[in-house]
Chains A and B, each alone.
Chain A
């Protein structure tokens, strides 16, 4: 499903300079229509939520699960319908509902210190469990606890278990502490798939696992993954035809959620790639909330999740200044395909294990730094920005070290802002905007030779108000 609903400004078919908002010198042009891939994604989502709304009558089983390490192909092989509470939470953030949901959860005794996704989900549940399309979500038949890259996942599903009378199955995915997947780690995940996850799914659905069906799903995943990697790598062009962070979260929607392994996902990614290739030919930039962005002054790599409550405002802060995200790590939380991983239909369980083990937040801090360094260099970035979200220790603990280490290794200055995922209280708009502008001005001065090449870059902090 789409992670975000981009609402582009309605255009009249002509490219025009955007009005109030973009600062002088930016070249935001208003888009013509929604891309066909966007329309396709919208239909896919609507269809999925329709299916969910009638799941119980249709006899379909529903599994709630998480984005990192999701076992979509396996669920697909059992014809189970996935619900991803993280995506419901971020959608609530986008729709301006998360603040009330979080308050509801905090009134019920949840601490203000913990992940706002969890509280948003609990609040949404207590408020009727109405999903992003306005339809009530079915309760789960299974809580599939893919325990990958985040400790909070375990607590989250323990909390949900107390709300729903359904089984939970834990898939413990060991952490890549030394930056490698050992045979023991891989075997442990495979063993759990065999001893716990698959038997539980078989029991719930009343079906035996059909390995051929699983392999077909995996083969389709591979095709979609091939296309997505080409989309990511298109950002090496100048101008970049994509925004690899704000636009990127839109691109990862289908592959990180309910659709990987489906024909729909293949069609979506092939269509998206064709559109991106067209933009490369015409030298056109990506669409942003303010319009098409072709004049790209600053190429940035971004680490950390976005602030969903202020998604478009945050994006505008970039595009108004001519800053484009050429790569990001958040868009790799559900799989690092651009580092070579592909689902392998020849080794169905082994490939699921590799997938779960390889997600971004399951990587050690040194390997995260290596990856960011690689992005900064291979995407010829002018700078990098860390959006450090209060909610997420998995992402955030250690980011100040990431900042320093990257500056040291690349000589490229970094910016550091603080906000939150779906708790609107922690987005200090003016503060973040001022700091981002100062940072970009510093990049400009540096480009013009007014600041030493490395070692003198300021750390930019935009904290909550």
Chain B
């Protein structure tokens, strides 16, 4: 993530975008260091992409830090840990660890997303034995008395282990306060989503991405304020509706595409009006219940409000239905499947999602990337051809 935001000084959102950019620079470690300076003795814990119960960490005074690999940083040592046919993010994450970039973290959480992240958790235990490392097994059984019970025990275990390392004890009061803050973030992200949906010319996807990702290493409350500020500023923009095609982008929930790739898609005439790029920060549909027992509320939010994604079992649900709903809600013209090379969850999911699109007459295109992809010309041409085809198709329809 290196590209600076391109907003001009006259742009009402310029200042907030600059702040967002500063938050994601340095792999998100700059805000961690300053937070630790201000909170002496408090813990900061990293987590790999996809859902992690950040709310629980905040409740015990721990700063959750989303780790998204190392983008286009040169990989020197990390490559010797993985074969060429394994995606890029585990090697770049190891690189960050071995080069001391993650030293300000006191631990790491590896949420259940795929076998690579799963095995990486064991590698981390061996490479950094002095640091806390936890694999978080998210339940695939969504009955509260079965999967819910298991998940609740997992959350308690995590809180207990962190408490033993210096975090505050988990209390109902602490968790309630954290849920309130998380709901502020939820509300702000919903506003951002609505703005993208209703006035996409005011919010390029690259900016929405930046502002969302900026929440990776700050508290939910601060992030909510940042997003609100951005939405308010973007609403003041006097842009014009462009003749772009509206697309939903899916499959990029873990290893992140280069920032330049998102910009290239925009330049190719695609307004990305919805995506799963930052699913980990935006995993829930709706608010976490503030009246329920707080731990039950966190568990139930996962069980009942988690968004459909490749690493989540959908039981008797219909594969692709959630994507079609997303397309409808975003009033999108088509779908771009963008998956990291060798990403099992995304690539195994894709044929089923494509079939759903085909069945519903939703046009789509697909490509793969790596976080360190440097050339976007081919993808840009492909996206350009796709947007032209969609426009033609629409004018013919």
Contact = CB atoms under 8 A, between A and B. Distances in A.
Interface string B349-374: 11110110000000000001000000
B50 to A, nearest CB: 12
Interface in B309-329: 310-311, 313-316, 319
Interface stretch (B16-24, B135-143, B165-173, B293-301): B135-143
Nearest to A390: B85
A397 B350 contact: no
B6 interface: no
Given A159-B351, A196-B146, A397-B120, A154 B137 contact: no
Nearest to A464: B85
Interface in A164-196: 167-168, 170, 172, 174-175, 177-178, 184-185, 187-188, 191-192, 195-196
A398 B348 contact: no
B83 A418 contact: yes
Interface size class of chain B, counting residues whose CB lies under 8 Å from the partner chain: 35 or more
A401 interface: yes
Contacts of A161: 319
A406 interface: no
A400 B82 contact: yes
A151 B126 contact: no
Contacts of A20: none
Q: Which of A111, A147, A150, A191 has the most CB of B within 10 A?
A: A111
A118 interface: yes
A118 B354 CA distance: 17
Interface residues of A, number: 54
A436 B121 CA distance: 31
Contacts, number: 162
Contacts of A172: 139-141, 147, 313
Interface in B132-169: 134-135, 137, 139-141, 143, 145-147, 149-150, 153-154, 157
Nearest to A156: B348
Contact of B137 (A167, A174, A195, A396): A174
A439 to B, nearest CB: 18
Contact of B83 (A110, A174, A366, A399): A399
B315 to A, nearest CB: 7
Q: Which of A147, A185, A388, A393 has the most CB of B within 10 A?
A: A393
A147 B140 contact: yes
Nearest to A363: B122
A228 interface: no
Contact of A170 (B82, B83, B140, B355): B140
A113 B351 contact: no
Contact of B122 (A108, A150, A365, A390): A365
A152 interface: yes
A159 B348 CA distance: 9
Nearest to B114: A151
Contacts of A17: none
Contact of A184 (B153, B339, B354): B153
B119 A398 contact: yes
B348 A393 contact: no
A397 B119 contact: yes
A368 B368 CA distance: 32
A218 B220 CA distance: 51
Given A155-B344, A174-B150, 7 more contacts: A111-B350, A113-B341, A151-B118, A188-B146, A191-B141, A388-B83, A399-B83
Interface of A: 108-111, 113-115, 118, 147, 150-152, 154-156, 158-159, 161-162, 167-168, 170, 172, 174-175, 177-178, 184-185, 187-188, 191-192, 195-196, 364-369, 388, 390, 393-394, 396-401, 405, 418, 463
Which are the 5 A-B pairs with shortest beta-carbon distances? A365-B122, A177-B135, A155-B348, A172-B140, A188-B150
